[in-house]
Structure 1
Amino acid sequence: MAKKIDIVDGRSALDAVRAADAAGAKPARTDLATAVRYLLQLLDEKAPGNSVEVRVPPFGAVQVIQGPRHTRGTPPNVVEMDAATWIAVSTGAEAWADAASSGRIQASGTRADLAGVLPLRP
């Protein structure tokens, strides 16, 4: 992660995204981006490592989980999802297995199941 997000800013952005969702509105892009990056940062702190790349385009990506490190090209363990799915699974609003079985999470590799480290409970 490039720039560390302050806890207050991250939680405020996450609250704003949740409020917009509850009102049936589209969250502000800046709030969505900050919330996604904040949750990726929390994942990185909870499960440091370099064996799994978690991608939430276009907002961010982080390498996590202890294990073999990749150095070039596409890593062998990749998890990718949209921002709404990432926020849902990382906060516990939706179970990892449910989002994965619905096809909203694309995961490849033997270490690409994040059920053991999610939810983050920010």
Structure 2
Amino acid sequence: MNDDDDWVPTPYDDGIMVVPLWEASDGHPATHRGTPVDLSADELPAETVAELADSAVNLTHPIDLDPAELATLREVLSVPDVFDHSGWLADHHALVLHGGRRDFGGFSIVHHPQRGLEIHE
């Protein structure tokens, strides 16, 4: 038996799964396509869950984030109950962008139309 035999994987140990959402003109979150997303709902329509799952991004350390940035995202971004109950979005954090960006103090996450999510320091 070696040390690897005891190892139990933890989801996204080196990263965080985020679902980017955009603040709509009414102040509520929506998908990039404009589908409204009620984060306080008991359940989301299957089509919306599929659209959200398709847009999910795994931000990882050390490729995308340094350890402090990863810790900040894990602390600040919640996993909405409606995501956990959906199955496909369990352990996915809601990242609501305001004007295409979200500031976290020492860094920002910005949506670029061609490249997708970018980390700016």
Greater C-alpha radius of gyration = 2
Name the one with the larger strand percent.
Answer: 2
Q: Looking at both structures, which has the greater relative contact order when contacts are Cα pairs under 8 Å and sequence separation is at least 6?
A: 2
Same-fold call, TM > 0.5? Answer: no
Name the one with the larger helix percent.
Answer: 1
